[in-house]
Amino acid sequence: MSERPLTAVVLAAGEGTRMRSTRPKPLHRLCGRPMVLHVLDALAELPLARVVVVVGHRGEWVTKTLVEHAPPHVDIVFVEQLEQRGTGDAMVVALGGLPDEDERGSEGDVVVLPGDTPLLRPATLAALVRHHRSTDAAATLLTAVVDDPTGYGRVVRGRDDAVARVVEHGDATDAEREVREVNTSIYCFRRSVLAPALRRLRPVNAQGEYYLTDVIGVLHDAGHRVVSLAVDDTMEVAGVNDRAQLAVAEAELRDRINERWMRRGVTMWDPERTYIDADAELAPDATLLPGVILQGACRVGEHAEIGPNCHLVDTVVGDAAVVSSTVARRAEIGAGALVGPFVSLVPGEAVPPGARRGPGHAAASGPGGPVGSAGWDGGTLAR
């Protein structure tokens, strides 16, 4: 990366009416984490001076969530878009949260991305910034070529195949709607040209809003260089606007999570029937049988075997423990313990190392609650 200052803006002010929920759209969960946190994950490979998050609908809820759960090393500043007047207006609001320009600040760059693209990979965003700087562009769009571009803004090119403007679907002509290259609403701008371009926006469109996409045409018409970078995997830039799209994104993210753990030495008998949240941690040589759900911050030790048909929430499973047909919430299962089938562990319950819990092996009472088992004989399994 160049040494020029780099900041980021996450646009998370939308109400998300199609979600039909009182929960703000950026806070809907995928694999146990709010969607906007997955968006922040995409910034992981960038040397950012600051991240500005634009909030709006129920903004205090979004702010509280990020303050509590965002990575501690990320410098986040929150700004509020009081009236929903479009992405261009949201970007104007965001400029107030960027660091003051100094001798180098005006030559810096700003990455902009929406708060509803949770599948974007860090490597893709880093490639966008590298391409932006290597081409010395005023603006760089991340684009995608899709089979069905309905609903997306079309990328219109001019002479020498340069990006000339982006036309939203509702404002496009019939010819423009035939274009299959679409805007992903993910950009990198040279900061020095962004504010002047935003001042020239006008709400002359079907929605009567200030479109950030119109900045592309403003910069092109002013003679600035505007380029694009096409994403290889279009799933990365899929937006989440309703519950159906949320389910599609969840399935994609779960596939990624399962593949990552299998490559780290975890065995899964049936990945399609194995559900692991993003905050779970698994040790090598753990085995997951079909029907396993690891929800929240579960921890699974080496050589542990879980399943079939287990639902564990924020639960610790020790090394070499065997757990089958069990439901547990905020419980702890000791190393070498044998739990199940048909066992339910309540919050705070602990099964000691080597203990056995299941039919015919009821929990024994101990300090702090049910901690023993009728089959426990000081650490060996009574089989």
Residues noted as catalytic: 18
Question: In whole angstroms, what is the distance from residue 104 CA to residue 192 CA?
Answer: 10
Strands (E), 239-291: 267-268, 274-276, 281-282, 287-288
Residues 233/144, Cβ–Cβ less than 8 Å: no
Helix 87-95 with 191-198: angle, nearest 10 deg: 130
Q: In what order do the strands lie in the sheet with 299-300?
A: 281-282, 299-300, 316-317, 332-333, 350-351
Residues 326/349, Cβ–Cβ less than 8 Å: no
CA distances from 234 to 105, 117, 200, 252, 259 (A): 33, 11, 31, 12, 19
Beta bridge partners of 187: 112, 141
Tokens of 134: 């290597």
Classify strands 365-366 and 356-357 as parallel, antiparallel or unpaired.
Answer: unpaired
Closest CA to 302 of 291, 324, 280, 287: 287
Q: Coil, strand or helix: which one is 29?
A: strand
H or E stretch at 217: helix 214-221
